[in-house]
Amino acid sequence: MVRDGHMGVSNYALSEGKMKRLWILFWVICSYFVFLGSVTADERVRVNRVYDGDTIVLEDGRKVRYLGINSPEFQEPFYLKAKRFNESLVLGKEIRLEFDQERGDAYNRILAYVYVGDQMVNARLVKEGLAHVFLIGPSRKHSALLLQAQAEAKQNRVGIWSARARPKDLKITNVHLAEKDKPDPNAPYVRIANLSNGPVRMTGYILSNESGQKYVFPEVRIDPGYTIIVSSAAGKDGIDDRGQRVVCWPAQSSAWDPREDTAFLTDPSGEIVDSFHYKGKRISASSPRSKEKAP
């Protein structure tokens, strides 16, 4: 009887221990989902100003950069049309911000998918040919939707896909010079986006500057909508912590003239497929203004 009594106490203690561990596990899971909800919860705000085709300013002064897309730069075809269309969709209206894995960038801007009612503005701009898909880092929740919208725009030959804009498959979106107040391990660097409907193998493509310094791409591929960074860091080619594809050109650290230069991208046959001119701090050669963009 005594042994049975001890057995009963032992079983009770064991079940009590199990219950305690279950409660701890339950508390951890609940805490995780509360935290996750605070990170991913949508936010409703009102738009005070439209900066351009993919950036807006809220009533409280915060800037929002549309996730997954890139609109034409100042002085590029359809820049003004993209800005005005964006204004028609969001200016003065209450919008809903949907977040992905990254909520902010190095320019202190919020990164979000923007909705007016049930309409995603990011996708609408792409569908109208007023922006192209621009996938950087781990925020890729709506990549399939955006790529489908881009395919429709290209098929309809609207906006940047029309003959007027001289549509291309590869685009140099930025020559990012080193900045003392914003250190970046890759800077200076060049970012190239794949605007085509399929993957592009970069083997044999050449990136060069006005003085003739050049970098020949190795066996590397860019998937549609994604980008590649040509970094000046001395390291191995591969994928960085943000999920970005990076190739290294250490000599680039002294290649770009800080006053003015042009980046050229040529295919293996020697044909120039794109160029990017900058003056000063990434300012268009024909413009006294700069356009704040994501790197």
Q: How far apart are alpha carbons 178 and 175 in whole angstroms?
A: 10
Q: How far apart are alpha carbons 80 and 84 in whole angstroms?
A: 6
Cβ pair 46, 58 in contact under 8 A: yes
The active-site residue out of 65, 124, 191, 245 is: 65
Omega prior to 188 cis, within 30 of 0: yes
Q: How far is it between the farthest Cα atoms of the chain?
A: 97
Known active-site residue 242: no
Q: How far apart are alpha carbons 2 and 13 in whole angstroms?
A: 17
DSSP character string of 273-291: EEEEEEETTTB-TT-S-B-
In the block, which residue shows the tokens 């919208």?
149
The active-site residue out of 46, 73, 245, 271 is: 73
Known active-site residue 65: yes
Question: Edge to edge, what strands does the sheet with 170-176 contain?
Answer: 170-176, 189-194, 227-231, 245-248, 238-239
The active-site residue out of 44, 76, 87, 109 is: 109
- Strand 272-279, strand 260-266: pairing: antiparallel
Contacts of residue 37, Cβ cutoff 8 Å, sequence gap at least 6: none
The Cα-based distances of 238 to 232, 243, 246 in angstroms read 14, 9, 5
Known active-site residue 73: yes
In this structure, the dihedral spanned by the alpha carbons of residues 125, 131, 137 and 141, taken in order and rounded to 10 degrees, is 30
Task: Report which residue type is found at 251.
Answer: A
Q: Output the CA angle 106-109-115, nearest 5 degrees.
A: 140
At CB < 8 A and 24+ separation, what contacts does 14-17 make? Answer: none
What number of CA atoms fall less than 13 Å from residue 69's CA on the CB side?
Answer: 35
Q: Any idea which residues carry the catalytic annotation?
A: 65, 73, 109
